[in-house]
Amino acid sequence: MGNQEKVSFLKDKAKELRKTALTMIHEANSGHPGGSLSAADIMAALYFYELKLDPQNPSWYERDRFVLSKGHVCPILYSSLILRGFMDKKEIYNLRKFKSILQGHPDMKKTPGVDISTGSLGQGLSTAVGMALGLKRDGIGSRVFCLVGDGETNEGQIWEAVQTAVKYELDNMVIFVDNNRIQNDGFCDEIMPVLDLKDKFQAFGCETYRIDGHKMEEIVNILDQIRGRRNKKPIVIVASTVKGKGVSFMEDVPKWHGVAPNDEEFEQALREIEEGLK
């Protein structure tokens, strides 16, 4: 695939992911649309371009790992797994239902393709560090990708984990920060200013980048650039994003962190997503 084809393929996938995630949340009448949508482009690039996975064999030892540290946006992870063939498409309608394999937050024991259970913010990154450390010591070339929320970096444990990743030179780790500037109660600047996250991770000893988390070209470029990179530093990609991206009335509106759209809003959202990112 040429670069342009690749990018337009991934943009289409991101559209599908957004629609699927919103469908799940609408159907469940609960869930977290804002942070699902801000992460959609990164997730499309990871699941349809970068990650080394085998949907037929989810526990393949040499696979890349993915840790959704901001576990509340699991609809976007479930969508990725469903569209990648880890599960039947009908699961879209089972999010948060009783006895479902798709729990309200990721459950590694119930959902194929989920590498670790998350949901309590601040903890996923430590587990990613454990995975990266073990894989490295086993001499296995797989990498561990982790998606962290910007609000989530309020948690001290994030920085504990980063220190460990730096100490053990975990250059098989890639941390994406979904820098959508909004957390639960409002804008980060009001709730707990996170300041420049690239600077922070840099100061902790990581190799850091900032990209536009909605420009597929930039996401693909950075993934290409770091793919073979092993320079003894964990890689952190701070992605400037917009919470609710792709749905005008959700964009940059804190309220859409954790509420489901009603029927009308849902229809409008699907239409807007179909039109593509502005």
Partner 1 sequence: MKALREAFGDELLELAKEYPELYVIDADIGKSCKTTEFQARFCKQHVNVGIAEQNAAGVAAGLATLGKIPIVSTYAIFGSLRMCEQIRQEICYPNLNVKVMCSHGGLTPANDGASHQAIEDMGVMRTLPNMTVIAPADYYSARNLVRKAVEMYGPVYMRFTRDAFPFIYDENIQLEIGKANLLKEGNDIAVIASGEIMSVAINACEALEKEGINARLLDMHTIKPLDERAVVEAIEECGALITVEDHNIINGLGSAVAEVMAECGKGRLKRIGVRDKFGESGPYEELLASNGITVEEIVKSAKELLK
Ligand X SMILES: Cc1ncc(C[n+]2csc(CCOP(=O)(O)OP(=O)(O)O)c2C)c(N)n1
**For residue 66, what is the enclosing H or E element?**
strand 65-68
Q: Which does 232 bind (CB under 5 to 8 A by kind): ligand X, partner 1, Mg ion, none?
A: none
**Of positions 33, 113, 122, 151, contacts Mg ion by CB under 5 A:** 151
> Which of these ranges, 20-28, 35-43, 111-119, 220-228, lies near partner 1 under the rule CB under 8 A?
111-119
User: Shortest approach of partner 1 to residue 106 CB, angstroms?
Assistant: 10
Partner in contact with 125, chosen from ligand X, Mg ion, partner 1, none, beta carbon below 5 to 8 Å by kind:
partner 1
Of 122, 149, 246, 254, the one binding Mg ion (CB under 5 A) is 149
Using DSSP, state whether 210 is helix, strand or coil: strand
Nearer to partner 1, 85 or 119 (CB): 119
Nearest to 261 by CA among 75, 39, 69, 90: 75
Dist. CA 25–CA 10, nearest whole Å: 22
Token look-up 């999010």 returns 95
Residue 180 makes contact with Mg ion by CB under 5 A: yes
Question: In whole angstroms, what is the distance from residue 156 CA to residue 164 CA?
Answer: 13
Among residues 182 and 211, whose Cβ is nearest to Mg ion? 182
- Identify each DSSP E strand in 130-273 by its residue range: 144-149, 173-179, 207-212, 235-240
Judged by CB under 5 A, the number of residues near Mg ion is: 5
CA-based nearest residue to 252, from 236, 238, 237, 240: 240
- Report the b/e string of 135-151 with b at 16+ CB within 10 A: bbeeeeebbbbbbbbbb
Minimum Å gap between C-beta 39 and ligand X is 7
Task: Choose the stretch contacting ligand X; rule: CB under 6 A; options: 30-38, 60-68, 127-135, 160-168.
Answer: 30-38
Which one, 45 or 81, has the nearer CB to partner 1? 81
* Footprint on residues 102-131 left by ligand X (CB under 6 A): 119-122
Residue from the set 41, 150, 251, 272 that interacts with Mg ion by CB under 5 A:
150
Contacts of residue 26, defined as CB under 8 A and 6 or more positions apart, other chains included, come to 260, 261, 263, 266
Of 91 and 115, which has the nearer Cβ to partner 1? Answer: 115
Instruction: Quickly list DSSP for 236-277.
Output: EEEEE--TTTTSTTTTT-GGGGS----HHHHHHHHHHHHH--
Candidates 157, 149, 237, 225; CA nearest to 201 is: 237
Residues of this chain that interact with ligand X (CB under 6 A) are: 32, 34-35, 38, 70, 72-73, 119-122, 149-152, 178, 180, 182-184, 243, 257
Residues of this chain that interact with Mg ion (CB under 5 A) are: 149-151, 180, 182
Residues of this chain that interact with partner 1 (CB under 8 A) are: 61, 65, 107-109, 115-120, 122-135, 137-138, 156-157, 160-161, 163-164, 167-168
